[in-house]
Amino acid sequence: MSFNTIIVEKKQSVGIITFNRPKAMNALCPALFAELTEALDELESDDAIAAIIITGDDRAFAAGADIGEMSESTYQQMLANESLSGQWDRIALCRKPVIAAVAGYALGGGCELAMSCDFIIAADNAKFGQPEVTIGTMPGIGGTQRLTRLVGKAKAMDMCLTGRMMDVQEAERAGLVSRIEPLDKYFEVALDTAKQIASFSRPVVKLVKEAVDAALETTLSQGMKTERRLFHSTFAFEDQKEGMKAFIEKRKPAFKNR
């Protein structure tokens, strides 16, 4: 795969997508969205890949949608580009686990893309924000919706109405970030984490992800029912038998992804 705005690599069973517009702080232009969508399509259909990492560089995960490319757009053009919303939400639609490895700025669309991953492992220099209001617009790819579900109304309103940034400690306390790691280690930790997830039974991992996602979309009682049905269904997998047998026999399980 050869791209201009991203770099795609495969390390064992982990696919890595790195935003590659360092001069523009990895601002998200239409070409980048198109390439990100293509890369995710490819990694998702590759049976050798079991988990995906999306990352940027040390200065910026992504500093938001590309303001230069967007500044003269008209309402009609934005509306006509509605079809692109499939690209904007492509990460959330991925059925394989996706980790955001975030260093530096994750602002506007950058914060929104990080939030559409399954979880965020952040470097100690990471900063998160929805500064759209400061440039005369508002979040457009989940900033008012995912952020509110992740950190609650008070912090989401504060962030979206003032455009202020959260440092990584505040982001972790608020539940936006799952782990904070030193800048020189965060990617390694994300890669080890992705490899660990990739070592588990893939159909089981898929059901776990589906169940956690259901928590944000349904009532508690519906979510509990969904979870129970999915839990029951793991007993149809050879991997459940192998996992429990291996525990009893005090050895590592050899999952076969079936």
Residues with catalytic roles = 65, 109, 112, 132
What is the nearest approach in angstroms of ligand CAA to the Cβ of residue 161? Answer: 15
Assign residue 128 a region (left: φ > 0; alpha: ψ between -120 and 50; beta: otherwise): beta
Helix (H) / strand (E) element for 229: namely: helix 220-233
Among 6, 17, 51, 63, the residue binding ligand CAA under the rule CB under 6 A is: 63
Among 135, 161, 236, 244, the residue binding ligand CAA under the rule CB under 6 A is: 135
Applying CB under 6 A, does 208 fall inside the site for ligand CAA? no
Among 109, 147, 181, 255, the residue binding ligand CAA under the rule CB under 6 A is: 109
CA distance 159 to 35: 29
Applying CB under 6 A, does 25 fall inside the site for ligand CAA? yes
Numbers of helices and strands, H then E, in the chain? 12, 10
Applying CB under 6 A, does 102 fall inside the site for ligand CAA? no
What is the nearest approach in angstroms of ligand CAA to the Cβ of residue 57? Answer: 12
Applying CB under 6 A, does 100 fall inside the site for ligand CAA? no
Applying CB under 6 A, does 97 fall inside the site for ligand CAA? no
What is the nearest approach in angstroms of ligand CAA to the Cβ of residue 131? Answer: 4
3-state secondary structure string, 145-165? CHHHHHHCHHHHHHHHHHCCE
| Stretch near ligand CAA under the rule CB under 6 A, chosen from 61-69, 118-126, 179-187, 214-222 | 61-69
What is the nearest approach in angstroms of ligand CAA to the Cβ of residue 69? Answer: 7
CA distance 37 to 18: 13
The stretches of 15-94 forming alpha helices (DSSP H) are: 30-45, 67-70, 75-80, 85-88
Nearer to ligand CAA by Cβ, of 63 and 102: the residue is: 63
Q: Is residue 256 within 8 Å of residue 246, measured between CB atoms? A: no
Among 140, 148, 149, 178, the residue binding ligand CAA under the rule CB under 6 A is: 140
What is the nearest approach in angstroms of ligand CAA to the Cβ of residue 245? Answer: 49
Cα 81 to Cα 40, 57, 88, 202, distances in angstroms: 20, 28, 11, 35
Nearer to ligand CAA by Cβ, of 85 and 233: the residue is: 85
Among 65, 166, 190, 191, the residue binding ligand CAA under the rule CB under 6 A is: 65
Tell me the β-bridge partners of 106. 62, 128
Instruction: List the strands of the sheet with 127-129, edge to edge.
Output: 60-62, 105-107, 127-129, 165-167
Tell me the β-bridge partners of 53. 16, 99
Tell me which residues touch ligand CAA (CB under 6 A).
24-25, 27, 63-68, 105, 107-109, 112, 131-132, 135, 139-141, 143
